[in-house]
Amino acid sequence: MPNIKSAKKRVLVAKKKEDQNKVVRSSMRNAIRQAKSAIKENAENKGDLVVRAISSIDKAAKKNILHKANADRKKSRLQKMLNK
């Protein structure tokens, strides 16, 4: 544990941001997982789920949880799966 006051604060802030990022990352992964399973099962709402997954990917990229190129790649692959 750090001794300097500012370093102690940085530890607390980093932990708080880590927890916030975990929520965004897990919700994004769940949305992607749901979209992929809907595409495989050829569900009626697969288009809506893909749109929701792409939206969550964009939100994660906007908050710098994902790199922009990584987000673009994920979105492209989802669209490719949907169009097949």
In the DSSP assignment, the letter for residue 59 is H
What CA–CA distance (Å, rounded) separates 79 from 58?
14
Q: What is the pTM of this model?
A: 0.85
Predicted pLDDT of residue 1: 81
pLDDT tens profile 48-80: 999 999 999 999 999 999 999 999 999 999 999
Tokens of 75: 């979105």
What CA–CA distance (Å, rounded) separates 17 from 12?
9
Q: What share of the chain is helix, strand, coil (3-state, %, to 5)?
A: 85, 0, 15
Domains of the chain, start order: 20-83 (1.20.58.110)
The fraction of the chain above a pLDDT of 90, given in percent, is: 93
Q: Average pLDDT of the chain?
A: 95
Residues in the chain: 84
Q: Which amino acid is at 51?
A: V
Q: Give the residue-averaged pLDDT of 29-36.
A: 96
